[in-house]
């Protein structure tokens, strides 16, 4: 098993190293599949999304720039976009935002290189999310994880469009302040 940093695995893939590509798949498959399944809600479609996400990561490994974000963020963004595209073809589906994300405080596992930092970030975000009013948390999860627009959220939640926008704005603004405050306190 590769015990190297996520960035190094991507660099290895970019250089055409098959061992790096295999290790990359092994390392991230559960996270990618988990996110895809969370969004599309069906294992077969989630598998297609997860496979395409890994292929795209491999194809674009050479242009990955660690200064613009972590490997995990990059990979989950690819997965999320693909899952949202797949979901738009399959809608409507039943989505309960309260069950979509893990707010238990037990952060998902990840690569060894930045595990401590990332786990801490995820834990802080989990904690900050639990402090939001229910309606703001639902709006943030529907927008940030499932990729629903403000209009789609307004229809699902049966609220005016302006209210949906306000909940998104207020919710993400609070999360930003919470994360910034904790960073400043460290």
60 binds other proteins (CB under 8 A): yes
147 binds other proteins (CB under 8 A): yes
Rounded Cα–Cα distance for residues 122 and 73 (Å): 11
105 binds other proteins (CB under 8 A): no
Q: Pick from 145, 157, 25, 10: which is nearest to 70 by CA?
A: 10
67 binds other proteins (CB under 8 A): no
- Binds other proteins by CB under 8 A, chosen from 7, 42, 179, 182: 179
**Would you say how long the chain is, in residues?**
186
149 binds other proteins (CB under 8 A): yes
Q: Pick from 180, 33, 41, 77: which is nearest to 121 by CA?
A: 180
17 binds other proteins (CB under 8 A): no
156 binds other proteins (CB under 8 A): no
CA distances from 92 to 47, 121, 137, 145, 169 (A): 20, 33, 21, 16, 25
What string of DSSP letters covers 42-107? Answer: -HHHHHHHHHHHHHHHHHTGGG--GGG--HHHHHHHHHHHHHHHHHHHH------HHHHS--SS-P
- Binds other proteins by CB under 8 A, chosen from 7, 42, 58, 114: 58
129 binds other proteins (CB under 8 A): yes
165 binds other proteins (CB under 8 A): yes
Which of these segments, 1-9, 89-97, 146-154, 155-163, binds other proteins (CB under 8 A)?
146-154
Rounded Cα–Cα distance for residues 94 and 92 (Å): 7
109 binds other proteins (CB under 8 A): yes
Q: State the DSSP code for 152.
A: H
Q: Which residues bind other proteins (CB under 8 A)?
A: 16, 18, 21-22, 25-26, 29-31, 33-35, 37-39, 43, 46-47, 50-51, 54-56, 58-60, 62-63, 65, 68-69, 72-73, 76-77, 79-81, 100-103, 107-109, 118, 121-122, 125-126, 129, 140-141, 143-145, 147-150, 165, 168-169, 171-173, 175-176, 179-180
């Amino acid at each position: 098993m590769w015990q190297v940093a996520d960035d190094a695995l991507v660099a290895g893939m970019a250089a055409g190293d098959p061992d790096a590509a295999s290790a990359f798949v092994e390392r991230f498959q559960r996270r990618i599949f988990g996110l895809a399944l969370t969004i599309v809600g069906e294992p077969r479609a989630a598998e297609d999304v997860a496979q395409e996400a890994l292929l795209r990561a491999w194809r674009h490994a050479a242009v990955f720039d660690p200064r613009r974000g972590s490997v995990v963020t990059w990979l989950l963004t690819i997965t999320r976009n693909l899952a949202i595209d797949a979901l738009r073809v399959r809608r409507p589906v039943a989505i309960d935002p309260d069950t979509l994300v893990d707010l238990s405080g037990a952060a998902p596992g990840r690569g060894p290189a930045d595990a401590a930092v990332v786990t801490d970030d995820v834990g802080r975000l989990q904690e900050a999310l639990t402090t939001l009013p229910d309606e703001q948390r639902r709006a943030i999860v529907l927008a940030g994880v499932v990729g629903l627009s403000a209009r789609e959220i307004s229809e699902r939640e049966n609220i005016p469009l302006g209210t949906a926008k306000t909940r998104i704005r207020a919710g993400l603004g609070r999360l930003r302040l919470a994360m910034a405050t904790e960073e400043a306190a460290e």
